[in-house]
Amino acid sequence: MTHPERTEVSRLSARQTLVVASMLFGLFFGAGNLIFPVSMGQNAGALSWQAALGFCITGVGLPLLGIVAFAISESASLFDMCLRVGKGFAYFFTVALYLTIGPLFAVPRTATVSFQVGVVPLLRQAGIADGTAQTVALAVFSLAFFALVLFFSLRPSRILDWVGRILNPLFLSVLAILLITALVRPMGSLAAVAPQTPAYASGTQSFFTGFLEGYNTMDALASLAFGVILVDAIRGLGVKKAEHTASSAMRSGFFASAAMVIIYVLLTVVGAQSAALLGVSADGGTALFAIAEHYYGTAGGVLLGVIITVACLKTSVGLITSLGSTFSELFPRMGRGENARPLSYRFYALTFTAVSFVIANAGLDAIIAFSIPVLLFLYPLTIVLMVLCAAGRTFAYRPSVFAWGMGFTVLAAGVQLLSSVLSPIPPLAFPFTIVATHLPLADLGMGWVAPAIVGIVIGVCVRKDRV
């Protein structure tokens, strides 16, 4: 991306910081960020506070850690961060993460969630419940949705304006109408709603269930992808030196994170209160629609549709922009020698948008089912990379620490992935399941922690880097 020349400054003004924070919040906060806390609140009931705390650690704390790690390590990109582990890992992890939060899972999910939550209930009310009719409706909706995504994405230098100054303020204004109404006129007492599932039976269980639910937002993964957009936006406002860019990025990240915490807690509380009157819905999207309809009737359904669609649109724009920028730098041409064909940002933006459109029409359930094992593999790698980059100055960013720490993490996460993927074939899954279930903290979904620590300790003890 290119920017008009600006006078160099050492820090952003308060107004600029808020605009950049608004852009960052807008990039992170998509449909999943809306529906998961509401569903969690309905199920956790009186223990929603513990669940919300766990959710905020992974749903807000990890994305913030990603921004801090990106800033402190003064990395130019995710690929640059990964090079500290090794060039092969850098290519593997960068491509795997971007495809996961891009055309394979996250971007298609933004369109399907918008349709499922904001459009399907209205179609049913209109008497359009036929499967074929809804399939056609999804195709038409997703085509229009991705046409808008492409329109904004082909103008990447305007992303600060599109998201920070237009789409995100619109989203927050409309969401505020629903949340304020629900809080002023609550459907019931949060304290009176008992936990609805065994996963939320105690405070400790609620905390760790919320902790794992925060993974589903994919924001920790996205933080590494959005880092380059954040840094580019700050530099476009005149902050050029790496140390000044890092401090401005962290300030914007803290403001964006504070807003996310507030909204997550409010959504969880509203969800828990609604369970007293509406009961527990099948998912957060259904619950949100029921809440909106309770307060505003059919207009509430339309209001929710606008909220969801704008939330998903701004996230998709950020993801496609980040994908296009990264892939055009990593793979600038196809082929070798004189026959090599240049691959521009525009080519990648068009390609990833088209692929997202096709996969979106496979349906939301299929996308979520396929994404879960991949997320359980990528999240440990992401967390360890962020921790090592954030704390790298304590061990002088020694390659051995990165290589050993990440190597053990990949082994542990890989065992969990194979155990999950091979579960339909018990004889093949058995050895991986045995190992995965006997790792420390495996019952809490964090069996990778102990191997990662062991690897880091070995890396610190190695006197000569041989990587």
> Of 329, 362, 395, which residue sits at a domain end?
362
| pLDDT at residue 337, as a whole number | 63
Q: Are residues 255 and 393 in the same domain?
A: no
The count of domains in the chain is 2
Whether 380 and 342 share a structural domain: no
pLDDT of residue 334: 75
Least confident residue range of 140-144, 174-178, 346-350: 174-178
DSSP string for residues in 355-397: HHHHHHTT-HHHHHHHHHHHHHHHHHHHHHHHHHHHSGGGGTT
Q: Which whole number is the average pLDDT over 241-270?
A: 88
Amino acid 2: pLDDT = 46
Higher confidence at residue 262 or residue 370? 262
Same domain, 258 and 353: yes
**In a domain? residue 26:** yes
**End-of-domain residue from the set 337, 362, 387:** 362
292: CATH: 1.20.1740.10
Residues 324 and 413 both lie in one domain: no
Q: What is the mean pLDDT of residues 86-92?
A: 93
Residues 15-32: what's their mean pLDDT?
Answer: 83
- Would you say residue 393 lies in a domain? yes
The pLDDT > 70 percentage for the chain reads 93
Residue 99: which residues within 8 A CB-CB, separation 6 or more? Answer: none
Task: Indicate if 53 and 105 belong to the same structural domain.
Answer: yes
Higher pLDDT, 143 or 11: 143
Mean pLDDT (whole number) for 377-394:
91
Domain shared by 356 and 390, yes or no: no
As a whole number, mean pLDDT of residues 170-186 equals: 89
pLDDT of residue 467: 45
In a domain, 36, yes or no: yes
The confidence score (pLDDT) of residue 464 equals 54
Residue 84: pLDDT over 90:
yes
Residue found under tokens 């207009």: 299
How much is the pLDDT for 393? 87
Average pLDDT over residues 202-219: 86
In this prediction, residues 211-216 reach a mean pLDDT of 83
Q: Is residue 3 part of a domain?
A: no
**Same domain, yes or no: 34 and 54:** yes
- Are 305 and 394 part of one and the same domain? no
Residue 329 and residue 245 share a domain: yes
Return the SS3 of 121: helix
Instruction: Answer yes or no: is 8 within a domain.
Output: no
pTM: predicted TM-score of the whole model, two decimal places: 0.82
pLDDT at position 260 over 50: yes
pLDDT(387) > 80:
yes
Does residue 2 sit within a domain?
no
Confidence of residue 203 (pLDDT cuts 50, 70, 90): confident
Domain boundary among 312, 333, 362: 362
CA distance 226 to 23: 10
With a CB cutoff of 8 Å and minimum separation 6, the contacts of 347 are: 328
List the domain range (segments joined by +) for residue 202: 14-362
The answer to whether position 433 is within a domain reads: yes
Mean pLDDT of 323-337: 83
How many angstroms separate the CA atoms of 157 and 321, rounded? 10
Kindly give, in sequence order, each residue whose CB lies less than 8 Å from that of residue 196, ignoring residues fewer than 6 positions away: 42, 43, 44, 45, 275, 280
3-state SS assignment for residue 423: coil
The verdict on 195 and 322 lying in the same domain is yes
**Confidence bin at 348 (pLDDT 50/70/90):** very high
- Rounded mean pLDDT, 166-175: 82
Would you say residue 7 has pLDDT above 70? no
Model pLDDT for residues 102-152, shown as the tens digit of each residue: 888 888 888 888 888 878 887 887 777 677 888 888 899 999 999 999 998
Question: Per-residue pLDDT for 350 more than 90?
Answer: yes
The whole-number pLDDT of residue 11 equals 78
The residue that leads in pLDDT, 447 or 128, is 447
Q: Regarding predicted confidence, which is higher, 283 or 365?
A: 283
Whether 153 and 320 have beta carbons less than 8 Å apart is answered as yes
Q: How far apart are CA 70 and CA 404, in angstroms?
A: 20
288-317, pLDDT tens digit by residue? 888 988 998 888 888 888 888 888 888 888
Residues 148-164 pLDDT 10s: 999 988 887 777 676 77
- Do 195 and 223 lie in one domain? The reply is yes
DSSP string, 67-118: HHHHHHTT-SSHHHHHTTT-HHHHHHHHHHHHHIIIIITHHHHHHHHHHHHH
Confidence of residue 340 (pLDDT cuts 50, 70, 90): low
Q: Is residue 459 part of a domain?
A: yes
Same domain (yes/no): 154, 22: yes
